[in-house]
Chain A
């Protein structure tokens, strides 16, 4: 699976001040655990997304450190208490050093 991981994020476009919104994220990634062996009996090297970070207007609001026990195509949902309008930056950090980023706007009115 050599395709570029594609993040998919569901954030409500609008929220009332103080409203609790649920954010759901999904990214396509094989999450190779490093425990598997290929047909030749060699261990398949580990390659997972080891960190997911959610920032709002540059401030970190939620972090998840993922281990190899997280399923392929990792799903993550969490909550955020809407206070002001702004932009979410979600980033997924791969073992190989790459970063996958998704930005979503939230309007609070």
Chain B
């Protein structure tokens, strides 16, 4: 059994691959024109920073009809400093908008999960608006394998 990879190694490799996938796309929406247009409609040409958002989506979705998504935005969620809104977009869908969340300090935590439909392999873009007007963005790629047998 020389060539078997241990569970630990496999996990390590998977984590490294995931990290690489996260770091690989530069923080820019230039390659998602439909999403860029939607964001421009909402916030104009305002500067968007990266960070603060944890966008949790599967790397590979077997079924594009039900893809879990979890968003977690780092914020103290006090009356003075909280996350006002979070928008989620998908570039490869017929309509780019997926969902908009509006949080209040009463939430205690800017975190929400739902399930979405994805028409094809594409990037998910998430934009968070803070109570002070700052914008943050996160991006993740989801591979959609229709039929569920890989491909």
Contacts and interface: CB of A to CB of B under 8 A. Distances in A.
A20 B109 CA distance: 8
Contacts of A61: 104, 106-107
A78 B112 contact: yes
Interface residues of B, number: 28
B41 to A, nearest CB: 14
B101 interface: yes
Nearest to B71: A78
Interface string A66-103: 11111110111111110100000000000000000000
A70 B116 contact: yes
Contacts of A70: 98-99, 114-117
A37 interface: no
Interface of B: 65-67, 77, 90, 93-95, 97-104, 106-109, 111-118
24 contacts: A33-B117, A35-B95, A56-B106, A59-B106, A63-B101, A64-B100, A64-B101, A64-B102, A65-B99, A66-B99, A67-B98, A69-B95, A69-B97, A70-B98, A70-B114, A71-B116, A75-B113, A76-B112, A78-B111, A78-B113, A79-B108, A80-B107, A81-B77, A81-B106
